[in-house]
Structure 1
Amino acid sequence: MTLDPNQHLTFQAKFVEATLETLLATQALPDETVRPPRLLAAMRHGALNGGKRLRPVLVMEAANLFGRADDGVLQAACALELIHCYSLVHDDLPAMDDDDLRRGQPTVHKAYDEATAILAGDALLTLAFDVITGEAVHADAAVRLRLSRELARASGIGGMAGGQMLDLESEHRERSEAEIRQLQSMKTGALLRYACRAGAILADAAEADVDRLTRFGEVIGLAFQLADDLLDVEASAETMGKATGKDAEAGKATLVGLWGTDRTRNELGRLVEEAETLLAPYGSRAAILSALARFIVNRTN
């Protein structure tokens, strides 16, 4: 029987969203004073408005590959998703990508206001590090510290945030293939890499397996960005749930712009082959991760 990655993502996303609902409840936690309703509503708008939940599902499936599937893994997965959601809230701001729609709904700064959107992103980011350090994530505090430190590095100056800066600086200027690869490995690839790596760490996998899953994350990270850039060129705004053609309009350098669509599709095929080669030692246990790699390449939104 062939696994349908769309159905699997939808199934697993329900667990992610239920956990996010709990994390974004109205009741203040110990050592919190109060959760301002408008700020909380904006955070929920940014985190609970759908989406494929690919990054947390990758954490869950990478951990499951090595025999761990429990609420602690789900908590760690949701910490990563909170980081991703914060990044989208901030990316959509007028000072950044200036988007009015996200997943077919008004972006947070449109539904609320810019100041509230900035604070919502800040609060989602901060909450992520509260969540990743929870005792349920891993019994060993040293492992929780490792996961927290690596999440900070994947999302910060040398990772996602730094990649966004390089991306903004690439507007209306020439960039080499190496420069584009570097900025994309940071802006998009860093969190996908972390997702696969963190899952292995959560399950106490051998370091050789952590390294193998890390490379798998790097490969699918590049594939995700290439597929995203193709969609920005070819898909409609209705299909994507947001404006398309914005990279070209902003004069941003992409590998699709540098290579053309045919070479990009060839590279996507090569990346899928590498991903499957990396997973081959795990046999049928890696079927879900393999299907997710193919989904990333073939997705339509």
Structure 2
Amino acid sequence: MIATDDLHAPQGESPAFDLSAYLTQQAVLVEAALDRSLPLTYPEKIYEAMRYSLLAGGKRLRPILCLASCTLMGGSVEMAMPTACALEMIHTMSLIHDDLPAMDNDDYRRGKPTNHKVYGEDIAILAGDGLLSYAFEFIATQTQNVPAERVLQVIARLGRAVGAAGLVGGQVVDLESEGKPDISLETLNFIHTHKTGALLEACVVCGGVLAGSSESDLQRLSRYAENIGLAFQIVDDILDITATAEELGKTAGKDLQAQKATFPSLWGLEESRRQAQQLIDAAKAELEPFGERAIPLSAIADFIISRTN
């Protein structure tokens, strides 16, 4: 395993910062922590189903954002790791439930059969429920060397981000909007700032909360996260049109098939790319007061717009 002290080294090397190495290094830590977080026990079937999706790979972008913002604000990887793992548990829950026949009805996720295709719809629903509840337990019981009021604030922020005021609310409006040809930009923005953006924002801001950031710094982190969250979704919409199923690791063209309003359907591909770049530029501008310490978060913003899956 890579020593956590090594994670701070690239931050001082602005011209030669290697984002690929940084992401790989952080993902190794997150992957090991996730594996430890959820041991197999009785009843094995539910734990197997939870682990199947939690350990199915992926970029681990959400936990890495939490670790990066915590270290940026003077905290440590160790103090943020339980929250980082919990964020991935919550994200995994949303994917399991999103793939169900009652929602997006998808057969593949991260290049593997979706949870309900392997374990059945009943177990898939329960696996998502198990991951969601365990995420909050994990933060509460595993976070070390952080004042209790900060941990409580993180739990409250995550509860809001994943509930009807966040992810769930965005998903409801998304489902209601399917097949409607006249969805407005305002509605589309609501869907994605809640369905995708709320959890991404929580990832970044919770790292700052754990480190004891000032309110003004938390607001900067929040604006950074809002911008990258919307850019992330615009790029997702573009990739659904332009990428293959092999590249995506999931079914391509699902948005068109489901008659979903997307940013390219409103703007076209070129304008969508331009809007995404504007959001990334605005996100990076929020990091300028932090100087070279913010290089990882700035590089992740660039990665979001250049990704191919």
For the aligned pair, the TM-score class normalised by the smaller chain equals over 0.9
In structure 1, list runs of 5 or more residues that go unmatched. 28-34
Q: 1:297 aligns with which of 282, 299, 305?
A: 305
Letter paired with 1:89: I
- Could you say if the C-alpha distance between residues 255 and 137 of structure 1 is closer, same or farther in structure 2, counting changes exceeding 3 Å? farther
Q: Does 1:283 align with 2:291?
A: yes
Preserved CA contact (<8 Å) 1:138 1:144: no
- Give the superposition deviation at 1:274: 0.7
Structure 1 equivalent of residue 78 of structure 2: 71
Q: Does 1:8 align with 2:15?
A: no
- Give the superposition deviation at 1:68: 1.1
Q: Percent identity?
A: 47
Q: Does 1:250 align with 2:230?
A: no
Q: Does 1:233 align with 2:236?
A: no
- Could you say if the C-alpha distance between residues 213 and 137 of structure 1 is closer, same or farther in structure 2, counting changes exceeding 3 Å? farther
Structure 1 equivalent of residue 31 of structure 2: 17
| Residues 239-280 of structure 1 deviation map (CA, whole Å, 9 limit, x = unaligned) | 111101111110111122100011111111111211111111
Q: Match of 2:56, SS? A: coil
Structure 2 equivalent of residue 193 of structure 1: 201
Query: Structure 1: how far apart are the matches of 2:144 and 2:265?
Result: 41
Query: Structure 2: how far apart are the matches of 1:255 and 1:2?
Result: 34
Structure 1 equivalent of residue 10 of structure 2: none
Query: Structure 1: how far apart are the matches of 2:174 and 2:148?
Result: 36
Structure 2 equivalent of residue 26 of structure 1: 40
- Give the superposition deviation at 1:72: 2.4
Query: Structure 2: how far apart are the matches of 1:2 and 1:163?
Result: 39
Which moved further from structure 2: 17-26 or 289-298? 17-26
Q: Does 1:178 align with 2:186?
A: yes
Structure 2 equivalent of residue 40 of structure 1: 47
Preserved CA contact (<8 Å) 1:89 1:117: yes
Preserved CA contact (<8 Å) 1:137 1:202: no
Letter paired with 2:296: I
Query: Structure 2: how far apart are the matches of 1:62 and 1:98?
Result: 34
The root-mean-square deviation of aligned C-alpha atoms, in Å, is: 1.2
Letter paired with 1:221: G
Which moved further from structure 2: 68-77 or 185-194? 68-77
Structure 1 equivalent of residue 12 of structure 2: none
| Residues 85-125 of structure 1 deviation map (CA, whole Å, 9 limit, x = unaligned) | 01101111111111111111111111111111011000000
Structure 1 equivalent of residue 4 of structure 2: none
Structure 1 equivalent of residue 212 of structure 2: 204
| Residues 115-166 of structure 1 deviation map (CA, whole Å, 9 limit, x = unaligned) | 1101100000010010121252553222111110110100011101111111
Preserved CA contact (<8 Å) 2:40 2:48: no
Query: Structure 2: how far apart are the matches of 1:2 and 1:118?
Result: 45
Aligned residues: 294
Query: Structure 2: how far apart are the matches of 1:85 and 1:70?
Result: 21
- Give the superposition deviation at 1:46: 0.8
- Give the superposition deviation at 1:9: 1.8
Structure 2 equivalent of residue 32 of structure 1: none
Preserved CA contact (<8 Å) 1:138 1:202: no
- Could you say if the C-alpha distance between residues 101 and 143 of structure 1 is closer, same or farther in structure 2, counting changes exceeding 3 Å? same
Query: Structure 2: how far apart are the matches of 1:215 and 1:84?
Result: 21
In structure 2, list runs of 5 or more residues that go unmatched. 1-14
Q: Match of 1:273, SS? A: helix
Preserved CA contact (<8 Å) 1:79 1:128: yes
